[in-house]
Amino acid sequence: MHLRAAAINDLSGLGRCSLTADIAVLAAMGIEACPLPTAVLTAQTGYAGFRCVPFADHMESYRKHWQELGVSFQGILSGYLASPDTVRRTAEFVETFRRPGVTYLCDPVLGDNGRVYRGFTDASVEAMRSLALRADLLTPNLTEFCILTGTDMDAMQKLGETHPDELFAALARKAAFFKDTDTVITGIPFRNEEGRQMLCNLVLTQGTQVPVSFPHLGGTYSGTGDLFAAVLLGGRLQHRDLEASVRLAGTFISRGIESARRNHTPYNDGIDYESCLSLLLP
């Protein structure tokens, strides 16, 4: 069956993130990616001097035209939405194209490393929170999860150093805010029983919590959250279970980070995932 997903995200010329990541990953997984840009940037916002052309006013044309054409999608993915206007347009898009069996993955891109990305206001955070509540699948990193649920990030990080099981249980309780949404909290740092630094992707579905962990390879690379979300949606559209999809995404990203480290790739440039795309072939 031909699979098609709408990817609502920005187009950044540098940083191997957002639509660049979505299109590459979904295509490798045998899924047609239909890009709906939310903004066009010379480079992701971590680069000094980036330029940004807002695209909110054009998003309605995509929704209308695709509706006129009778296009349908099995999956919808949304990512970087820096203004409340782009969030509102995304919600309208989801309303229009959502049918039974369509999976909407919301990656609530807001920040990383305990900090909100440049350009986001309290109003954009509030708008993102209401969009997140509409998702079938939600993929916040730990920073974004703490922002969305009003959780103390420092306290969570400290708990991860000493009592990871308590940390995971505390996050699972907080995730009840998103009720019927399957949530994967990505990039949770913790120290395992052997004293090794790890990163956990905590899979939270209907009262169950499954940690899917990988060694912490260090560094914060651009675009890893975008790649993760795209692999997860692709995996679900291919009818893999959620945990298997999370494992695939984690393995793909770990390989890309290993390659980036070998090549001394700067964090802003994103990971060297291109050579790892074969891992995703259906």
| Interface size with ligand PXL, residues (CB under 6 A) | 15
159-188 positions binding ligand PXL, by CB under 6 A: none
What is the C-alpha separation between 120 and 86, in angstroms, rounded? 12
Among 6, 20, 44, 183, binds ligand PXL (CB under 6 A): 44
Measure the CA angle with vertex 176, ends 115 and 225; round to 5°.
40
**Residues 34, 2: contact at Cβ < 8 Å?**
no
- Which letter does DSSP use for residue 223 in this model? T
Which residue, 70, 92, 81, 76, is CA-closest to 35?
A: 76
Binding string, residues 211-250; x marks residues near ligand PXL by CB under 6 A: -----------xx-xx------------------------
Binding string, residues 111-140; x marks residues near ligand PXL by CB under 6 A: ------x-----------------------
- Pick left, alpha or beta for residue 239 (phi over 0 → left; psi -120 to 50 → alpha; otherwise beta): left
Least Å from the CB of residue 8 to ligand PXL: 12
56-85 positions binding ligand PXL, by CB under 6 A: 80
**Residues 222, 14: contact at Cβ < 8 Å?**
no
Among 7, 17, 87, 231, binds ligand PXL (CB under 6 A): 17
Residues forming contacts to ligand PXL in the complex (CB under 6 A) are 10, 12, 17-18, 41, 44-46, 80, 109, 117, 222-223, 225-226
